[in-house]
Structure 1
Amino acid sequence: MKWNLPNILTVLRLAAAPGVVVMFLYFNRPLADWFALTLFIVAALTDWVDGYLARAWKQESKFGAMLDPIADKAMVVIALIVITGFSGMTPWILLPATVIIFREIFVSGLREFLGDTAGTLKVTTLAKWKTTAQMVAIAVLFAKGAFEHYLIDRSLGMTPEMQQAILDGQIEDELGLRWLSMGWDACWYGGTALLWIAAFLTLITGIDYLRKAMPHLREA
């Protein structure tokens, strides 16, 4: 193992993965949502930074190449489990999350089976877009959780009719319910759409990886 800065950032990103769950165990919402969002964004940024530094400083190593995808997968899988939980197991989140998690486990198992041969199967540009779409979708959905909590908290004691009247502009919006509702809707629809796009890219790249691995599997 080479303990250079890129590898240290990768290890920190891996350690941050379970931190997303810890935020919801030890902090109340919406603080937990904001802390989890911040932690996830910082960890996602290190994914780009450690790769850039490793190439720029010529500090690429087998250790970093092995650990980097593990850290990415841990961040994504754990975050998706948390988001699926606080989203009420809605199919709009559960189905793409299942596709993403299944692919990550399948490809990890395939890499393990291929051993050193897996290093010859280079990461494609589409796979990088897949990772980006996953990270952005998860970040947006974490923000949605915060907007949701604020909206519910500020509308406590209101009848559904009163809430709708405020949102329709018939009653003065003293608590900012309208912009909270717009933030909630934007994050929900935007995050869900991005998650489905990520799931589609995940499926395509998984099939592509299997196709490239088939000649090696036939020889096994």
Structure 2
Amino acid sequence: MLTVPNLLTLSRIFAVPLLVLLLWPQPGWFDFALAFGLYCLMGITDYFDGYLARANGAVSKLGVFLDPIADKIMVAAVILMLIFIDRIEGVHVVAAIVILLREITVSGLREFLAGLQVSVPVTRLAKWKTTFQLVALGGLILAGAVPQWPWVQDVGLASLWAAALLTLITGWDYLRVGIKHMD
């Protein structure tokens, strides 16, 4: 149970409160820089927990359960904090809400389908969605550390909208599969 991949996944979950604390209201550029470093470290552990589990034949039920939860907790916490501290504001909140709603809906749908023993594989488009989402959130955190480069915020917001668009497309794909099994 306490394999290296599972410990990496757990470390991401336990790092979320620290990330939230670093982004707490009125963070300075140094807080944003530390938050960005922690966010990147969390992303790296997300890659390596899965890689090590597969490479070492150490895929566990606990890891399969915790990994997507760790991902969703991290994404939701960062989105909520970025909205709270006005790094995501105005119409851009719509893109963030679309991402949050899709994450919740797809999680519930996967749980429902798992009960029916229906597997929904992750598509290439869903991987692109995740990439844009991680780049967007990382860019929006980094923008607070480098306010002299306003283009970083612009890239973060553009990536957020790209992630939201891909979120709608991939969410619809998952929903279509799920609806077929809801008779």
Q: What is the CA-CA distance between 1:88 and the residue it aligns to?
A: 6.1
Q: What is the CA-CA distance between 1:8 and the residue it aligns to?
A: 0.9
1:110-125 counterparts in 2 under 5 A? 110-117=109-116, 120-125=119-124
Deviations 1:59-95 (A, max 9, x none): 1122111111111111111101111122265224201
> Are positions 1:214 and 2:171 aligned together?
no
> Are positions 1:202 and 2:144 aligned together?
no
Q: Which residue of 1 aligns with 2:130?
A: 131
Q: In structure 2, the residue corresponding to 1:58 is in which secondary structure?
A: coil
- Segments of 5+ residues of structure 1 without an aligned counterpart are 149-179
Q: Distance in 2 between matches of 1:51 and 1:11?
A: 13
Aligned length: 183
Q: Distance in 1 between matches of 2:92 and 2:106?
A: 21
Q: What is the CA-CA distance between 1:34 and the residue it aligns to?
A: 1.1
Q: Distance in 2 between matches of 1:102 and 1:195?
A: 14
**8 A contact 1:111–1:118 mirrored in 2:** no
For residues 119 and 67 of structure 1, do their structure 2 counterparts lie closer, same or farther at Cα, with a shift above 3 Å needed? farther
Larger Rg: 1
> Are positions 1:191 and 2:141 aligned together?
no
Letter aligned with residue 140 of structure 1? G
**8 A contact 1:143–1:187 mirrored in 2:** yes
For residues 83 and 17 of structure 1, do their structure 2 counterparts lie closer, same or farther at Cα, with a shift above 3 Å needed? same
Q: Distance in 1 between matches of 2:89 and 2:25?
A: 25
For residues 46 and 118 of structure 1, do their structure 2 counterparts lie closer, same or farther at Cα, with a shift above 3 Å needed? farther
Q: Greater CA deviation, 81-90 or 200-209?
A: 81-90
Q: Distance in 2 between matches of 1:59 and 1:145?
A: 38
Q: Which residue of 2 aligns with 1:157?
A: none
**8 A contact 1:20–1:36 mirrored in 2:** yes
**TM-score scaled by length of structure 1:** 0.77
Q: What is the CA-CA distance between 1:111 and the residue it aligns to?
A: 2.6
**8 A contact 2:110–2:120 mirrored in 1:** no
Q: Which residue of 1 aligns with 2:80?
A: 81
Letter aligned with residue 196 of structure 1? W
Q: Distance in 1 between matches of 2:10 and 2:63?
A: 9
**8 A contact 2:8–2:45 mirrored in 1:** yes
Q: Which residue of 2 aligns with 1:64?
A: 63
**8 A contact 2:9–2:49 mirrored in 1:** yes
**What percent of counterpart residues are identical?**
42
Letter aligned with residue 188 of structure 1? Q
